[in-house]
Structure 1
Amino acid sequence: MYLKKYFLTFVFMKLNLKNTFSKELPADPITENTRRQVPQACFSYVIPKKTAKPMLLHVASSMAQALGISEQEALSKDFLEIFSGNTILPNAKPYAMCYGGHQFGNWAGQLGDGRAINLGEIEHANKRWAVQLKGAGETPYSRTADGLAVLRSSIREYLCSEAMYYLGVPTTRALSLMLTGDKVLRDVLYNGNAAYEKGAVVTRVAPSFIRFGNFEIFSSRNDANTLKKLTDYTIKYFYPHLGEPSKEAYVAFFKEVADKSLEMVLHWQRVGFVHGVMNTDNMSILGLTIDYGPYGWLEGYDLGWTPNTTDRQNKRYRYGNQPQVVQWNLYQLANALYPLIGEADGLEEILHNFSATYDSKEQKMLASKIGVFTNKKGDAKLLHSLQELLQAIETDMTIFYRELAAFNTVAPLKGLEVVKEAFYSLEEFTEELKEKWNLWFTAYAERLEKETLPANERIEKMQKINPKYVLRNYMAQLAIDASDKGDYSILNELFIMLMKPYDEQPEFSKWYAKRPEWARNKVGCSMLSCSS
């Protein structure tokens, strides 16, 4: 929905606002908005900061409809005021969550919603959605920051949240993107050259924003009472089929979180998404992708690539290590839940089985990407050989898998011609490398002949697994640069295109291309900082 003006005034009295989190869990008794440690509380009440001159840039229509907000209502003055933080919904009591987390493998203590303020929960069509503003001002958890966000990072979060949803990746959603009319000081490269940028607010939506870190903070403080209340609340509303609180229910709860987290990262690997900052405070208890900071998609296929400048040296959160990090984070959640269970056997079994389960599902996923849907002896070798070849020369992951669908088994030696658009430099192909590729394509053709699906059905299935369009960093940066000048056409174009990432969409074919050379080392187009 591309927005230019407001058509009506509408009071959002009809929204079915719930406040289960703030009503059923312990609140911070101190109401002053000062940075501090907040013990024995799951949240602190906070009022969003008034914005100088809010301007609505974009609304995700499908998310608005899911909340019971019509297109007309989304164009209203009331929508602008409410989702910029200037007006509080009737009966709402905004709050910021308290949580901790392991950052880059080290316990960081209390973190919390430093720039996110929850408006409450909206219930519509038998679904409950938590709604929060990101960039709406400081909270008790802001530490040394200002609680604000800039247009640059807000565009990236807004576009990517919805892009991931349409890719079929479990994710939090975005409702709206606003300019605040305020200037925000940021040091993009952390090099001492801070500058003012346009302030912005993104409205984020999810069934819940509870994270691993929400449980870790209470366990770290030996606060078993609050830990139990939070866990029981989470099971009651998000895993009710597990029944009443018990040791068995807590173990089963952990098992389901592990399963959902595994499925989430499996989807990341499928589409080539790299989160960039997989700290435990950025791990959703519902297995949703959360907190879109220095993320990126693989441009050149590289298991060792990370988009995060802070992670440049150790590459903890590199693409090829994401499944292992999810498992490590689950260990921390298991440690946090242990006080409620008192024994490790059930938790350890779940953690032990994670790797084997993931490996099995990953092989099935990778096989499906090349059109292999049955399990045969030799598949693992075929897939491993492909991974090695993809890294032997700079290869665009998205284009390679998408073009591979056109491979003809009767002409395996023409395989390289089929996927040539995926390679950054054909001149770098040595005769030895060409021979290796030809051998792989020959083996691939023989393997496809063992499949029972007709070629047209195989192609159709591959195209539903391998997207044609993803939100590459250079694309997001072009939208940012244009938006900073008041031109929101690229933002809108990308949003529309990313709603159908598996379709051909010839009108958007210019976006189906490798990263341009000018973007290789440009700020925002390759690696990014956490500055937002």
Structure 2
Amino acid sequence: MKNLKINNRFTAELPADPDETNEIRQVKNALFSYVNPTKPTEPKLIHASEEVAELVGIAVDEIQSEAFLNAFSGKEILPETKPYAMCYAGHQFGNWAGQLGDGRAINLTEVEHNNEFFTLQLKGAGKTPYSRTADGLAVLRSSIREYLCAEAMHYLGVPTTRSLSLMLSGDQVLRDILYNGNPAYEKGAIVCRVAPSFIRFGSFEILTARNELKNLKQFVEYNIKHYFPEITGEPKEQYLQFFKKVADTTREMILHWQRVGFVHGVMNTDNMSIHGITIDYGPYGWLENYDPNWTPNTTDSQNRRYRFGNQPQVAQWNLFQLANALYPLINEAEPLEKILESFINDFKSDYKVMFLSKLGVFTSTEADDKLITALETVLQLSETDMTIFFRNLSKIKKEDSIEDGIEKIQDAFYIREEISGDILESWKKWFSVYLERLNNETLSDEDRAQKMNTINPKYVLRNYMAQLAIDAADQEDYSLINELYLLLQKPYDEQSELEKWFAKRPDWARSKVGCSMLSCSS
């Protein structure tokens, strides 16, 4: 990696754990611990992103080199670097969990390229002081899902980490995929993830919980200096501006999740980035049928805390925990409460604009609230594919009849025979209002369709698609990974030659492991 410009600001400016042994422990008065990746037995590159390589300063012709393989599998340490795992805490499923930290992630280094900074992090590269009872490794199935999803989200326009590389380790990893007492060996794998940083809400929570207020102050000021340099003023005002920036970017991220039907599945505070980017792709999923109560996480199947329709409220709750962590520096509750209140109010108004844009309505009236609410209701009367419904909605023309409208979106219905009786009448009633609303818009049908098709994706990474790629990869066939990778780089384009992926979830995928709900097993 001859052109990588190393610039380790995090480790140079923040307190390190003086203990450099790789033993599980409570790490206090430090924000990170130095630790080297576990050397893989026989690493093999499966896939790499040329775009991300160039983004961080790696030449495309270096991707196939032995140096690239060794560096991003953890086999060798990059020159002038000292890998580390971060210390943080978090609330998991609403409960305080205490110290968590990078249990299966190791930060290789920070790099600077084209006046931007990036952290390069390996996921699945072995044990760290924060691994608790785990081994710090990852398996091929979860690594494929993470690698593809981060890139898919980027091209959808959703703020996210990026994926540089996906590699096999050459080692076997024992996992209980269903948590039912039947563990089995799986292929080990490593993903290199890229982000401005991997700093989380929990990074601040742990400092306040341990009353390490000097470190808290230093850490907040570090973040403002490097990631929010536009923030100025008195210290207390800076801390409030920092919180407001995090709240604003978090709101924008959640808005994009709702726009494309993405469900994160594990919105713990340790999985929330200060940059407002999606991190930690575990049991995620896209809505197949439009169901606000759906969660992809088996661990969350009873309470459904992290269900699709609850993601904005959970984001606000998580921001409340961050506000509590910052409070000792501000010592005033009211300005923090105002930011939290404005978060949900601003989200509601932004959501209305976003949802109307998905409908091809680019002006807003008070009556549109009923149009949105009515659609959210009718979409749930019979299983209706979210992605296909909104994509096909762009085919509707102002002069269409109600029957024309229903005909043009019928491919979204999982059981077409159910669209009869009261359900059909509900659809007719909604289309009656919708077509009238379209005729009050000034855009032509063609211009409206073109605009809608930049908002409503045609292709998303459905769980069954990822599982097909996983099944093929288990047989050492990586062609489907590449096919999906290329497909998802242009999610808004027609790509007629790949039309087979513009389809509802097949029946066989309803109950197949990995195709609907997933566990956190990695």
**Fold conserved between structures, TM > 0.5:** yes
Aligned equivalent of 1:448, options 438, 446, 455: 438
The one-letter amino acid of 1:229's match is Q
The answer to whether structure 1 residue 311 and structure 2 residue 300 are counterparts is yes
Counterpart of 2:98 in structure 1 is 109
Deviation at 1:430, TM superposition (A): 2.5
Q: Distance in 2 between matches of 1:63 and 1:276?
A: 26
Counterpart of 1:274 in structure 2 is 263
Aligned equivalent of 1:490, options 470, 480, 503: 480
Pairwise mapping of residues 78-157 of structure 1 onto structure 2 (< 5 A)? 78-157=67-146
Pairwise mapping of residues 58-457 of structure 1 onto structure 2 (< 5 A)? 58-243=47-232, 246-413=235-402, 414-457=404-447
1:44-102: CA deviation from partner (whole Å, max 9, x where unpaired): 00011000000000001110110121221111110000000011111001000000000
Where 1:241 maps in the other structure, the secondary structure is: coil
Aligned equivalent of 1:459, options 443, 449, 456: 449
Q: Distance in 2 between matches of 1:66 and 1:356?
A: 36
The one-letter amino acid of 2:162's match is R
Select between 450-459 and 491-500 the one with higher mean Cα deviation.
450-459
Q: Distance in 2 between matches of 1:85 and 1:64?
A: 17
Cα RMSD after superposing both structures? 0.8
Q: Distance in 2 between matches of 1:33 and 1:243?
A: 40
The answer to whether structure 1 residue 518 and structure 2 residue 508 are counterparts is yes
The one-letter amino acid of 2:409's match is V
Where 1:201 maps in the other structure, the secondary structure is: strand
Deviation at 1:442, TM superposition (A): 1.4
Deviation at 1:136, TM superposition (A): 0.5
Give yes or no for contact 1:115–1:147 (8 Å, CA) kept in 2.
yes
Where 1:456 maps in the other structure, the secondary structure is: helix
Give yes or no for contact 1:412–1:438 (8 Å, CA) kept in 2.
no
Deviation at 1:14, TM superposition (A): 2.4
Aligned equivalent of 1:476, options 459, 466, 482: 466
Give yes or no for contact 1:131–1:203 (8 Å, CA) kept in 2.
yes
Aligned equivalent of 1:31, options 13, 17, 20: 20
Moved runs in structure 1, 4+ residues, more than 3 A? none
The one-letter amino acid of 1:447's match is R
The one-letter amino acid of 1:106's match is N
Where 2:6 maps in the other structure, the secondary structure is: strand
1:488-531: CA deviation from partner (whole Å, max 9, x where unpaired): 01100000000000000011100000000000011000000000
Q: Distance in 1 between matches of 2:195 and 2:401?
A: 46
Q: Distance in 2 between matches of 1:242 and 1:376?
A: 36
1:340-383: CA deviation from partner (whole Å, max 9, x where unpaired): 11111110110111111111000110000000000123101011
Give yes or no for contact 2:120–2:193 (8 Å, CA) kept in 1.
yes
TM-score (norm 1): 0.97
The one-letter amino acid of 1:516's match is P
Q: Distance in 2 between matches of 1:82 and 1:125?
A: 22
Give yes or no for contact 2:3–2:58 (8 Å, CA) kept in 1.
no
TM-score (norm 2): 0.99
Give yes or no for contact 1:304–1:320 (8 Å, CA) kept in 2.
yes
Q: Distance in 2 between matches of 1:157 and 1:417?
A: 37
Where 2:461 maps in the other structure, the secondary structure is: coil
How many residues align structurally? Answer: 521
Q: Distance in 1 between matches of 2:511 and 2:3?
A: 49
Where 1:14 maps in the other structure, the secondary structure is: coil
Where 2:122 maps in the other structure, the secondary structure is: strand
1:141-169: CA deviation from partner (whole Å, max 9, x where unpaired): 00000000000000000000000000000
